[in-house]
Structure formats: C-alpha cells, structure tokens
Amino acid sequence: MAAKGAKEALVNKLGFKSSSSKSAEMELKRENEQLKRSLEQMKRNGKHSDPDRAKLLERILALETLREKNSKQLLGKDQEMSSLREQLRAVHGDVVSSLQDKLLQRQQEAQQRESQFQALSKETEDLKNKYCAVTQRCEELEKQKVPTGEQAALQGQLRDALEKNQSWLIYDQQREAYVQGILARTRQLETQLNEALQQDHKEANSNGESGQMLEAEQARASRIQVELNDLRVKYEERSREASEAREQLQEERKNSREALLEERRCSAERSARLQCELETVNTRLEEERRSVSELLQQVNVLQKSLARQQEKKNRISVLEQQINLAAQDSENDKLELQRQLHKVLKELRKARDQITRLESSVSSDIFSLNIAGTLVKHQRESRFSEPSSCNRMDSERLTIQDQVTSPSKVQILMNESFLECPICCASYPANQYRELLVHLDLCFS
C-alpha cells in the first residue's frame, strides 16, 4: 500500500512538472519508465523460487524411492540372516566355517548399507536445510518488510521526484502571486488615471491657464495607458499560458489517473495471482512437511532396525563363540574318551590274559584233584580200620573239596562283576568281554 501511495504521489508530481517544461517532462517520462522497469524486474525476481522448489520435490521423490528400495533390501537381508541363523543352529562342524564366511560377507554388505544409509540421511538433512531456506525466502518475499537494493533505489528516485514536484509547486505559487501583483498594479493605475482625468477636467473648466500642466498630465496619462496596455497584453499572455497549463495539467492528471487505475487493476490481478500461488505453495509446503515427517519416521524405523540387526549380529557372534567352545569341548571329550577307551581296552586285555591264565590253572587243578581223589580212595580202602587215619583222610577230603569248589567261586565272582561302555553306558558281565569289544567298535564307528 505504501508503494502504491508513493506511485500516486509520483504521478501527481510528474503531472505538475510536465505542465511547465517539455525537457523536464521527457526526463520525468524516462525516469518513470525506468522505475516501471525496475518494479517489473523486482516482481520477476520474486518468482525465482518455483523451479528450485520443483527440483527439491523431484529430489525428495527420488530419495523416497531410494529409501523404499533400501528398506526392501534390508528386509531381504533380514530374511537371509534369519535363515542363516536357523542353519547355524541345525548344522555343526564344517558347515560352521562356511556359515562364518557367509556371515562375514553379510556383515560387509550390512556395513555398506549402513554407509549408504548415513549418506542418505545426510542428503535428507541437506534437503531439509535447503527447503527451510526456500520457505524463509518465500515468507520474506510475502511480507516484504526489508527493502532490497532496487527498492531502496526506487524510494530514492521517489524522494527526488517529490522534491522536484515541491519546487515546481513553489514556482507555480510565485508565478500566481506575480500575476496577482500585476493585476493589482493595473487596477491602481486605472484608478489613478480616472482620478487624474477627473481632476484635469475640473481644472480645465475652472482655470484655463493650466494648459501646460494639462498637457503634461495627458502625456503622463498616455504613458500610463501604454504601460497599462502592455500589462494587459502580458496578463492575457500569462493567463493564456496558465489556462493552457491548467488544461495540460488536467489532461496529464486524467492520463495519470487512468494509468494509475490500470496499474491498480494489474496490481490487483497480480496480487490475486500471487495469492493463489502462495496458497498452492503453502499446500505444497504442508505436503512436503508431511512427507519430511514421514521420512523422519521411516529413518527412525530404519535406525531401530539397524540397531536390532547390530544386536542380532552380536548375538550371532556370541553364538559362534559358544559353538566354537562347544566344538572344542566336544573334541576334547572325544580325545578323553579315546584315551579312556585305550585304557579300558588295555585293562580288558589284561583281564583276558588273567582269565586265560585262571582257566588254565583251574583245569590243571581239576586234573590234580582227580588224581588226588583216586589216591585218597585207595588209601581209604587200605586204612579203613584206623580211626586216626580216618579222621586225617576226612580232613584231607574237605580240603580237596574246598580246592575243587574254588574255580566255581572264581567263575561266580567273574559273573558278578560288570563292565560299561563309556559312550552309551551299556553294561556287560566281565565274562562277556568279547561282546563288549564288538559293541565298542560299533559305537566308535
């Protein structure tokens, strides 16, 4: 509104000034055209942010598509990692090394994805900063509180035009006062002439001797009449110039009013168009803000998913360590069992040797006992009558019986002792050591 008032004042001042001088009018017209060009250039400069916003929108859409692609890739990697974890739980041994290699490869890919995600986050922050700068620029252009360099130059030109218009107004007032003074002087001279004519007429009627004075007064009156005629001619010229100036001023004012009305109409249309554009920009701004908030939420979700993936990686590393420890423990247990098996086999060999020796000794004892029995029988028949000999023979028979029953006792003791398998804990009697050896071969194979 202040700019419109300044333009109206400028038009009025230009109208006053153009009525006085042709060269000044041309100069002011050139200044007016220059001011109009500067205003149009300022209005054009206020619309340079639309392509920047379009570029920002295109960039934001590209980032959204890239984010969706990365989220799909992250989901696929999560599924692969879950499948790898299941395989890691199910398979041991050589499969663990292959899974470790795959896990290292997946970790490298996850690091690459994380670096891409960080770059994407940084680019999103840069776009947000650019977007904030664009919105701030739009608000500044909308409010137009701070004048730019072109506006300052325009205001300086308007002040110069106001000063020139004021000087021309002062000149017009001085010219009007000069014309009024001339008119007053002519009226005074006319009154003086009338008074002199009346006095001369009276003096001519009363005294005929004053002819010389009458001629002097007539000469003076004729001179005054000539001056009066000159003043009248000047007054008519000045009044004609003043009427022409008034007509030209009215015409200039009419043209300036029409131009001002046209400018107001154009400015109203332009302001309506700018208002519509501002509303569309505000709607797009709200949409972009919503999209940015959604992007921030999705970035937070991605960060949480990355944190969960890192936690899962840590768990997998802990599980790998546990698997390695379990494999090492199982290897140690296997070595210990083999050592114990060798020890048991060595003891079994010793027991088998002892059993063979015992069986051979028992068979020799049985043979000797049979021989001793026959000898005892012959002695009993020969010494049946002697009681002492009978008692002695009974004691010998008891000892022989004890000697005969001793191998059975050994067999019973062997049947009562048991041997166990160190792997499946299957128990076998000591006399079935051959079956135990076959069973151990089956378990270790």
Residue partners of 312: CB distance under 8 A and separation at least 6:
81, 85
DSSP string, 346-397: HHHHHHHHHHHHHHHHHHHHHHHHHHHHHHHHHHHHHTSS-HHHHHHHHHHH
Candidates 190, 192, 187; CA nearest to 200 is 192
Residue 438 clears pLDDT 70, i.e. is over it? yes
386 against 346, higher pLDDT:
346
95 against 304, higher pLDDT:
304
Long-range contacts of 228-234 (CB under 8 A, 24+ apart): 228/186, 228/189, 228/190, 228/193, 231/182, 231/185, 231/186, 231/189, 232/186, 234/182
Residue 332 clears pLDDT 70, i.e. is over it? yes
Q: Work out the mean pLDDT of the chain and round it to a whole number.
A: 68
Q: Cα separations (Å) of 245 from 10, 142, 249?
A: 19, 42, 6
Other Cβ atoms within 10 Å of 150 Cβ, number: 13
pLDDT of residue 58: 64
Cβ contact 396:362 at 8 Å: no
Cβ contact 14:32 at 8 Å: yes
Q: Percentages helix, strand, coil for the chain, rounded to the nearest 5?
A: 90, 0, 5
Q: What is the pLDDT of residues 89-127, one digit of tens each?
A: 665 555 556 656 666 776 677 677 677 767 766 776 776
Q: What is the pLDDT of residues 1-55, one digit of tens each?
A: 444 444 444 444 444 433 444 565 566 556 656 655 655 665 566 544 456 555 6
Enter the pTM of the model: 0.25
As a whole number of angstroms, the distance between CA 107 and CA 32 comes to 71
Residue 153 clears pLDDT 60, i.e. is over it? yes
As a whole number of angstroms, the distance between CA 221 and CA 398 comes to 208
Residue partners of 259: CB distance under 8 A and separation at least 6:
11
pLDDT of residue 393: 46
310 against 117, higher pLDDT:
310
According to DSSP, the β-strands at 418-420 and 427-429 are antiparallel
As a whole number of angstroms, the distance between CA 19 and CA 211 comes to 53
What residue segments make up the domains of the chain, in order of their start? 2-329, 341-444
Residue partners of 327: CB distance under 8 A and separation at least 6:
92, 93, 96
